[in-house]
Structure 1
Amino acid sequence: MKLPARLFALVACLVLAAGCANVPEESQPVAVPQQELGQQVNPDVPQPAKDLDALTVVRDFVRASAQPISNNAAARMYLDDAAAKAWTPGKLITIIDDVFATVPATGQDTTANPNEVNVVLRGTGLGTLREDGGFISLRAPVELKLLVRRQSDGQWRITNPPPNLVMPNSDFNANYVRVQAFFFAQDSNTVVPDLRYVAGKPQSGLAGRVVGLLLSGPSSSLVGAVRNLLPEDATTEGNVTTAADGALVVALTGVADQTADVRRLIAAQIVLSLQSVTTNRVRLLSDGAPLVDGHEEWVPSDLPSYTALASPSADQPGLVTVNGRVRSLGDGSLISGPAGQGSGYQVASAAQSIDGRQLAVVEYADERQRLRVGQFGKDAPAVDLAGATMTRPTWRPTATADGSGEVWTVVDGQTVVRALRISDGSWVPQVVNADEILQVGPISVLRLSRDGARAAVVAGGQLLVASVVRAQDSVTLRAPRILQGGTLGGVIDVDWLSQDTLVAATTMPSQPVVKISIDGLRLDPFNISNLTLPVHAITAAPGRSIVVADDGGLWTASDIGEVWRPHPHSFGGNASPFYPG
């Protein structure tokens, strides 16, 4: 299946004629002023300012389109009566850059009627918000043609609104709230966040909209990669409301036949998903009784950790490959075993399991590279897998007692392979279906998320995120999305800072290190002070400092804006650091 070349299209309405009155020559690109997230919207929906020219009417209409209250009432104010009554915008939303232009149409698109003007909006699309609230990153030109007509009262109004909403990014951020809807990994009770966006107004219905996301299941990009413990026929009895005592009441029905353990997991899904929109206690009911016997009200601190399998423990300081050996990032010493000591392996790259007990090594052997997997500090048996090149290994955890998980790598940039441990203790390679990603380009980096539900991939110098979908006898990297395509290029390494955030190293002098959300909507460059470009490796993990490697050695920072500090141990310019995972 080929990746779609475009994820959205705007329908142009062409009206022939020439000339118009009271219309400026053009509206030059203007940056929309930033607004605070959650800014209050006037519920009375004020009329547009009087005597706006046609270009400004289109500009203000696009900005007002970000206000979803009362069936987009604010945007309808910029339409003529017939269009305002008939307009039923679709569920897709195109988000454009804050800098966009509105100009009069030229050539055959002009009109001779002095009371009409075709206005062309030109901007850069950042991506689309789908009906399920998930964002798809796609940077592409957007052009929208709207016919604006002078009304009997002298005011200009739009007659042909677009079939889908279009809005600038800052207005989108001011009116929509990003939330994490939590689901569970396929084979463990590790929670997986699903980034979604819901209308922020009215505030009273915000929690209900989040619960609605859970009831409708994961976004399309995560289907097959996670589990939803809420049954398909589960729903709420009435609205999610706030009781007189301040508790947020979520009254469910359709979950009564679930086991006690499943009900606890459902409670975790709901409470964790609501924590970004409320600090209230959450009262969870099932057909009028407590969802979990003896535990009616919940706050996030009532829950056990559902990310323990996806987070390296504090006693795992991380490792670094340098000069064919593996050393500790903690004290700089060579690790025990042939990966670190004596005349052992000539290590090209390595990866430590999340629990720290195992090590996967790609070594140089007979002018090729091959994979070894074994216990940390001991001899690692060779896997029946070799190639001219192999990407740095990456671990997928499991909830099994031995914690062995899977080791993934990419052979010769074309074949994604997972090595599985079988009953005799050996590791057997199996090919992963990565056809959709390979259409973008050869794969140079692959990093599994520590919850196992996603993969961050560098293909053809671009950064992608795909979901890991597992069937009974196969695994597929599905629904890959290029993040910030056209803006972020020359990507040479990537790692997971958290379950929903990546850090990447690039060859771009202006942004050699960036932080980016997994949906690609937000990208933040790090400070470049003290770095010697290019940066050639990066590692990150929850609660850890980010470590990058340049020709001078290793540097650390905790967040964007910080000046990079020298790592306590100098390993030289060919070091490649990595945290467990």
Structure 2
Amino acid sequence: MPDSGDVEVVKGANAGDSQVRVYAVAPRENADPDEIVEGFLEAMTSDDPGFATARKYLTKRALRNWKPEQSITVLSNAPGRQPTDRDADPDSRSRVYPLSGRQIATVDARHAYKPVAPAEYLQSIHVVQQPVANGKGKEWRIDSLPPGLVLGEADFLRNYRSVNKYYFASGEDWVVADPVYIRQRQDPVTRMDPVTQTVKALLEGPTNWLKWAVDSYFPSGTQLKPGITSLTPDDTSTLKVPLNKEVGGEACRRMAAQLLFTLGDLTSVRVEQVELQNASGRSLCRMGQGQASEFAAVRSSVPRERPYLLDHGKLMSLNVEGKQDDAAVEVPGPFGQGTTPLTSVAVDRGETRAAGVAANGRDLLVSSITTEQDPSPAVLTSKGVRPGDRLSAPSWDGRGDLWVADRNPASPHLWLVPDGSGEPVEVRTPWLTEGTRVEALRVSADGVRVALLVTRGDRTTLQIGRVERQASGAEPAVSVVELQPVAPRMESVTAVSWAGPSRLVVVGKEAGGVQQIRYLQTDGSTSASSVLPGLNGVTSVAAPNSDNAPVVADSGNDGIVRLAPGTNWQPLLKKGDLPVYPG
């Protein structure tokens, strides 16, 4: 308990229960300006079609300018309404009401969520008197207001939900998740149900941050047939999607695949097959879930993912279903034999090879983990003077390329080793300037995004970078650009792991708080249910790509522990460290 510091007013907030409904109430006759402002702020949180009731609080001028669909400003709590200046002339025909709060995020017109470091929010609502329709008397109405919607986090999570749209990695045959937010129920502006909103968002194209690294097979200008506001699967779980364009062939198949992956995120609807139609209802193509799986970024033939760890420098395979202290088995090859002790390791997604940093921290080695072989020469060597200034733990992407950070202060770099055995390629990182250091990295299975723990000064933050590849002469050029903060509310982040196509497991703590483990979307959004059970002293964490295996963590004195869905942390091994899933 704190025993010092200032006393602060704390506002209560509901948990954002999506089952709670808010019904807007129109302004009563002769309502005072305080009631007008309060009523409008409440009406913004409702599902009222077209925000019709909220609009009744506005003057004609404000009605023309207010566009609730253009953006959402998310505050930590509902916006605080400051009282108007009581010393103002009581006969004045206008009032100014300051709105305040702590802004934590914005959502743009393309539904993209962007977190920000909590910052003071200060805007105002201007209220004036205007003649009533019958010309007898005047009523208070809002004449100017902040753009878009302004919602507290609880109201935002009650009204909106995160879904993944899917696009193809540029020039590749697998899809990439692009998280956005849609309304939980009918959209007040478009009147579309959640399925139709999701399809519409997919057709609009990728978010501005991701669009440089992905392709959509929907031709430019593709829209739903005019007038469509509801899409429902038929008795065979087939969703028929009428479009305004004529398409066919392979392009149509890939469009159907994008739809199937995208709709797979909507737990409220079961879609096993998609049929694209033209505006007259003629079928263009069909695709089922089984056919779409060929475009998944992770196509493992292993029925259940298994993690690995190091035990005194030896690589071990971990049986997460095993009993305590009887769950680790040496892998074949020099890494499992201990002839090449390691300080960190990464296993490729096919589980045939592993990459490890040697005990000296300088050398990056690659070896088979399915057959016995002699140790191979290093594929990359750091010249860092101190062990902590040498190579980070490596990471494999879904292409089979190997990534690692050289933390040498004299020459910091990100490196990519094509296929884990080619000539190392220096990754272009315009943001990796003096005083900036990459502590750790994890590359997504699709190879389009990389999660980075970046230290500047005494603070380590979690950033997501976009991977761009260009053919430049004989050698491909690879860049990591446009770093975006993922956990700006965390003062420090100590570990991160991918946990699916657009989700991360993050270990860190907020200012003045204790260490916590939580799920975060790659856009930085979160929910009340994303916090994992508490665990002390976590130094590393590993999550599977799907939900068919538990999260595994190194908890210091407690050793290796596991967390299966719906359970608490359970001990697995007393010895061993740095657990990792393939990737």
TM-score normalised according to structure 1 size: 0.81
CA contact (8 A) 1:440 1:459 kept: no
Distance 1:303 1:420 in 2: 27
Q: Tell me the secondary structure at the aligned position of residue 337 of structure 2.
A: coil
Question: Which residue does 1:8 correspond to in 2?
Answer: none
Question: Which residue does 1:326 correspond to in 2?
Answer: 315
Matching of residue 171 in structure 1 with residue 155 in structure 2:
yes
Question: Which residue does 1:201 correspond to in 2?
Answer: 186
Question: Which residue does 1:375 correspond to in 2?
Answer: 368
Partner letter of residue 393 of structure 2? R
Q: How many Å apart are 1:536 and its aligned residue?
A: 0.6
Question: Which residue does 1:539 correspond to in 2?
Answer: 542
Compared with structure 1, are the counterparts of its residues 318 and 242 closer, same or farther at alpha carbon in structure 2 (3 Å cutoff)? Answer: closer
Matching of residue 129 in structure 1 with residue 107 in structure 2:
yes
Compared with structure 1, are the counterparts of its residues 63 and 393 closer, same or farther at alpha carbon in structure 2 (3 Å cutoff)? Answer: farther
CA contact (8 A) 1:251 1:286 kept: yes
Render the CA deviation track for 1:413-470: whole Å, top value 9, x for unaligned. 731111114xxx9421112123346699421111011222211111121112222222
Distance 2:30 2:164 in 1: 43
Q: Tell me the secondary structure at the aligned position of residue 173 of structure 1.
A: helix
Q: Tell me the secondary structure at the aligned position of residue 309 of structure 1.
A: coil
Question: Which residue does 1:284 correspond to in 2?
Answer: 276
Q: What are structure 1's unaligned runs of at least 5 residues?
A: 1-27, 399-404
Q: How many Å apart are 1:577 and its aligned residue?
A: 0.5
Alignment of 1:506-525 (within 5 A): 506=508, 510-522=514-526, 524-525=530-531
Distance 2:162 2:96 in 1: 35
Alignment of 1:68-467 (within 5 A): 71-88=50-67, 91-104=70-83, 111-115=88-92, 116-138=94-116, 139-149=118-128, 156-199=140-183, 200-202=185-187, 204-240=192-228, 242=231, 248-256=239-247, 258-259=248-249, 261-275=250-264, 276=266, 278-279=269-270, 282-286=274-278, 288-292=281-285, 295=286, 300=289, 303-304=292-293, 306-307=295-296, 309=298, 313-314=302-303, 317-330=306-319, 331-342=327-338, 344-365=339-360, 368-376=361-369, 377=371, 378=373, 379-388=375-384, 389-398=390-399, 405-412=400-407, 414-421=412-419, 426-436=421-431, 441-460=436-455, 461-467=460-466
Question: Which residue does 2:323 correspond to in 1?
Answer: none
Q: Tell me the secondary structure at the aligned position of residue 442 of structure 1.
A: strand
Distance 2:208 2:392 in 1: 29
What is the root-mean-square deviation in Å for CA atoms of aligned residues?
3.3
Distance 1:253 1:205 in 2: 19
Distance 2:216 2:294 in 1: 18
Compared with structure 1, are the counterparts of its residues 176 and 51 closer, same or farther at alpha carbon in structure 2 (3 Å cutoff)? Answer: farther
CA contact (8 A) 1:238 1:251 kept: no
Compared with structure 1, are the counterparts of its residues 103 and 579 closer, same or farther at alpha carbon in structure 2 (3 Å cutoff)? Answer: same
Question: Which residue does 2:553 correspond to in 1?
Answer: 548
Q: What are structure 2's unaligned runs of at least 5 residues?
A: 1-8, 132-136, 320-326, 385-389
Matching of residue 471 in structure 1 with residue 455 in structure 2:
no
Distance 1:210 1:48 in 2: 33
CA contact (8 A) 2:22 2:45 kept: no
Question: Which residue does 1:37 correspond to in 2?
Answer: 18
Among candidates 499, 503, 506, match of residue 501 of structure 2: 499
Distance 2:295 2:16 in 1: 35
Identity %: 23
Distance 2:431 2:270 in 1: 41
Render the CA deviation track for 1:538-577: whole Å, top value 9, x for unaligned. 1111222111112221111135x7421101x3215xx111
Q: Tell me the secondary structure at the aligned position of residue 489 of structure 1.
A: strand
Q: How many Å apart are 1:236 and its aligned residue?
A: 3.6
Distance 2:418 2:290 in 1: 36
Alignment of 1:483-498 (within 5 A): 483-485=486-488, 487-498=489-500
Q: How many Å apart are 1:274 and its aligned residue?
A: 3.0
Render the CA deviation track for 1:27-81: whole Å, top value 9, x for unaligned. x764344554376676xx6413567664554344234234576553333222234
